[in-house]
Amino acid sequence: MRYFIDLQYDGAAYCGWQRQPDATTVQGVIEEKLSMLLRADTEIVGAGRTDTGVNASYYVAHFDTDVALDTQQLRYKLNKVLPPDIAILRIREVGPTLHARFDAREREYTYFLTQRKSPFRRFSAWYYTADIDVERMNAAAAKLLEYEDFTSFAKLNSNNKTNICHITYARWVVEDDGTLRFTIRADRFLRNMVRAIVGTLVDVGRGRYTVSEFEDIIRSKDLSRCSSGAPACGLFLSGVKYDE
């Protein structure tokens, strides 16, 4: 039987999602606790990687077991033994072939930027003090929907089979408290892609690049042309969708 786990995590203490030798990761911690509760070595498969320090307000993983589970009871027990920076939202049985990674048809990331110093957002938003033009940033973000090859924002040596992604939404919104929220959706994302895009869009907003120059960066397929990646603390994986 296959079960999906819907969860959240604060990534500040972790070297990303994916299990690594001699490093604390979200996958590794959950596998350890789940295996303990099920009394069997249990591997979980996530919807995708998140890098060191990146958060998830909604993440999906799956695991297989031969035992029928009380999912409500397992969720309760798992939350009791997991550290406070990982929360299990739901555990549900799914079809035996539904795959958390390969069957995800859309992923959503959200990035938060604040221009007002706050002790409560220091691990969940980029504190950025320069003046930025949100309208110009949105004009540049709209250009992302016109392209498919995002080599300019792909981390080197990532072993991607392809740098093709289909972005369906990319927009900045100013929230009531002045926080800037960037939301981007696509069928897939390259490693470090969203942080590289955000960093470059912010440079558009502060006048380093024009919208036309941002488009030239996309077309160049040259990573050296984009800006430094935005800090990991402001980035959240915020949605994963399936055809269930």
Q: Which residues are catalytic?
A: 51
Per DSSP (E only), the strands in the chain are: 2-9, 44-46, 55-64, 86-94, 104-114, 126-127, 167-174, 180-186, 235-242
Phi first, then psi: give them for residue 27, nearest 5 degrees. -60, -45
Residues 6+ apart with CB under 8 A from 73: none
Distance CA 179, CA 176 (A): 7
* Cα angle: 178, vertex 179, 183; to 5 degrees: 135
Q: Indicate the residue type of 224.
A: S
First to last CA, the chain: 16
Torsion sign, CA atoms 160, 94, 51, 81: negative
Distance CA 205, CA 132 (A): 4
Give the closest residue to 218 by CA, choosing from 181, 162, 163, 169: 163
